[in-house]
Structure 1
Amino acid sequence: MRWQGRRGSRNIEDRRGRRGGAGMAGGIGGMGIIAVLLIGWFFGVDVSPFLTGGGGGYTSGPSRPVTEAEQREAQFVSVVLADTEEVWADLFREQVDAEYRPPVLVLYSGVTGSPCGGASGATGPFYCPADGKIYLDTAFFTTMEQQLGAQGDFAAAYVVAHEVAHHVQDELGILGQANRIRAQATPEQSNAVSVRVELQADCLAGIWARAAQDRFGTLDPGDVDEAIDAARRIGDDTLQRSAGRVPMPHTFTHGTSRQRARWFATGFEEGRIAACDTFSAPSL
């Protein structure tokens, strides 16, 4: 992905180098510490995009210098975020006749707080609808590569695009509807709704990838394959096997490896928001 020297986003809240603390919001479900760490490393299963619990105030402590590697990662995230802003502004005007309001992305180091609860290495990147912000510790990119085997800068771009896609869902009113349904559902039914939300976000990330290529021409050969490979590596079935467990479909919250790769590819091939209607799909 050709990103160096390109415009970055101003919608960045930089908390790196500061020590933050916050109480965890209520309602975060556990799947066992190993599963939480593995699955939470990618897209924050235990801090889902539907949480609206209280708490999560941020307090800063002593600062430390930001390393050169961290600064480079922040610049990369800023460029990807800027690309999503331009792409989704165009797509909203063209496809849903609406104005797109971009999210703020919070960069932090180690731990910080949000209205959806504490953010840390155990939660991974996540979108909090209570404040419309994305929370990301760029150290996650190293974890993604070394622990999950998802390599390449476009695999990292996919992480940002997926979380932005949750904001897109919020803007379209999808998260609010899903939250109301899940509040009245059994745990198994709630998980099933979550899977459709997450697969739709993968599909929307695919739409962004296609539009970014058409608009900016910044994708290198193999970039899309990197994103699809990342999607495969973080399917619920694959992560549960990595945790030494037999995959249990009724506990899935993000979809299988095959499903995640398929829906990202669908978004990339179709380029239309309407093609990402996972809620009406007879099969995933």
Structure 2
Amino acid sequence: MRWIGRQGSGNVQDRRGMGGKIALGGGVGGIIVIILSLLFGNNPLETLNVENAPRQTSAAEDEQAKFVSVVLKDTEDVWNKLFSEKFGGPYQEPTLVLFSGSDQSGCGFANAATGPFYCPLDKSVYIDLSFYDELGSRFGASGDFAMAYVVAHEVGHHVQNLLGTSGKVQEARQRMSEEAANRLSVALELQADFYAGVWAHHAQQMNNILEPGDIEEALTAANAIGDDRLQMQSQGYVVPDAFTHGTSEQRMHWFKKGFETGDVKQGDTFAELQ
């Protein structure tokens, strides 16, 4: 991805190296963090009352921080334009919170084991940059655009929050069986993948960001974090009714559709549930 020397976002809070003991928050936010911990194969109890000792950031981490700031700025450029043209209103830009080890979000406790996530309660994306390396070492999805896809996916959840989609899904899930609620979660996640593809489409048109192999890096990342693949790796078998994010094939399909069309109106992932 072409990013060096380009402007970063002014909506980044850098909390890396900050210390303190943080406890898990309650309510829906706490549940979100627990679900994310389980998704990545971690014990959520390990995220309680974790000490986050102050530390110095490395030059490599600082470079990664600059990179995700530029990616966030690109998402701001794209979604400001699309909200004005397609949704008839202003785009409220999210905050990107960088932390190391652990932090407190509006949705409860966050730590590196949680993985990147979006908190709708404070309209912020939370990322421990150690996930940048984990994409390559654990998921086999190396390359800067794999991380760009992750950021764009989380910003996609912010778009869903602004459009009211997330709230409608959360309300509907409360009236459903677990299996049906999981299907709604899958649709929500796949739409965020679609929005990530839409972002890549328009960011390329606006800022010429793509280098050879970038889209392949994003597709490799989408493939690596499909529910079917993660379940097979963690437990040796697949339980489709327990899917919450979609299969590898679905995640790649919707990102690719968003990238190829660039049309926000073609991302009705919920229609497949009918």
TM-score (norm 2): 0.91
Q: CA deviation at 1:31?
A: 7.4
SS at match of 1:18: coil
Q: Letter of the aligned partner of 1:235 in structure 2?
A: G
| Equivalent residue, structure 2, for 1:186 | 177
Once the two structures are TM-superposed, the CA of residue 215 in structure 1 deviates from its matched residue by: 0.5
Question: In the aligned structure 2, how far is the partner of 1:111 from the partner of 1:144?
Answer: 19
Q: Answer yes or no: is the 8 Å Cα contact 2:76–2:93 preserved in 1.
A: yes
Matched-pair contact (CA < 8 Å) for 2:17–2:100 = yes
Amino acid at match of 1:130: L
TM superposition shift of 1:190: 1.2
Counterpart among 71, 77, 85 of residue 62 in structure 2 = 71
Distance in 1, Cα, partners of 2:64 & 2:254: 27
1:262 matches 2:264: no
In structure 2, C-alpha distance between the alignment counterparts of 1:147 and 1:131, rounded to whole Å: 29
Structure 1: 5+ residue stretches without partners: 41-45, 47-57
Task: Verify: 1:94 aligned to 2:97, yes or no.
Answer: no
Match of 1:80 among 63, 71, 83: 71
Offset of residue 64 of structure 1: 2.6
Aligned to 2:40: 37
Residue 165 (1) aligns with residue 156 (2): yes
Aligned-partner Cα distance in 2 for 1:93–1:105? 22
Find the counterpart in structure 2 of residue 7 from structure 1: 7
1:202 aligns with 2:193: yes
Q: Partner letter of residue 100 of structure 2?
A: S
Classify the secondary structure of the residue corresponding to 2:147: helix
Counterpart-to-counterpart distance in 2, 1:238 and 1:178 = 25
How big is the shift at 1:244? 2.8
Flag the structure with higher helix content: 2
What residue is the counterpart of 2:269 in the other structure? 278
Question: 2-side partners of 1:239 and 1:282: how far apart?
Answer: 22
Q: Are the aligned partners of 1:150 and 1:233 in contact in 2 as well (CA < 8 Å)?
A: yes
* Distance 1:219-1:243 versus aligned 2 partners, 3 A rule: same
Q: Residues 118-158 of structure 1, C-alpha deviation per residue, up to 9 Å, x if partnerless?
A: 11122100000011111000110111110010111100100
TM-aligned CA deviation for residue 219 of structure 1: 0.3
- Within the candidate set 127, 131, 136, 2:127 is matched to 136
Amino acid at match of 2:73: A
1:253 corresponding residue in structure 2? 244
The letter of the residue matching 2:169 is A
Q: Aligned pairs, how many?
A: 266
Three-state SS of the structure 2 residue aligned to 1:160 is helix
- Structure 1 equivalent of residue 111 of structure 2: 120
How far residue 93 of structure 1 moved from its aligned partner, in angstroms, is: 0.9
C-alpha contact 1:103 1:167 (8 A) present in aligned 2: yes
Aligned-pair CA distance for 1:36: 3.7
CA distance in 2: counterparts of 1:121 and 1:65, whole angstroms:
17
Kindly tell me: are residues 119 and 96 of structure 1, through their superposed partners in 2, closer, same or farther at Cα, counting changes over 3 Å?
same
- Greater alpha carbon shift after TM alignment, 61-70 vs 184-193: 61-70
Partner of 2:222: 231
Change (3 A) 1:204 1:20: farther
Q: 1:103 to 1:32 in 2, by over 3 A?
A: closer
Structure 2 contact 146–221 (Cα < 8 Å) conserved: yes
What does residue 50 of structure 1 align with?
none
Q: 1:248 to 1:110 in 2, by over 3 A?
A: same
**Is the CA contact 1:169–1:175 (under 8 Å) kept in the aligned structure 2?**
yes
- Which residue identity is paired with 1:22? I
Matched AA of 1:18: M
Other structure's SS at 2:19 match: strand
* Mapped partners of 1:61, 1:25: distance in 2: 16
**Higher mean C-alpha deviation, range 156-165 or range 62-71:** 62-71
Task: Give yes or no for contact 1:18–1:60 (8 Å, CA) kept in 2.
Answer: no
1:222 and 2:225 aligned: no
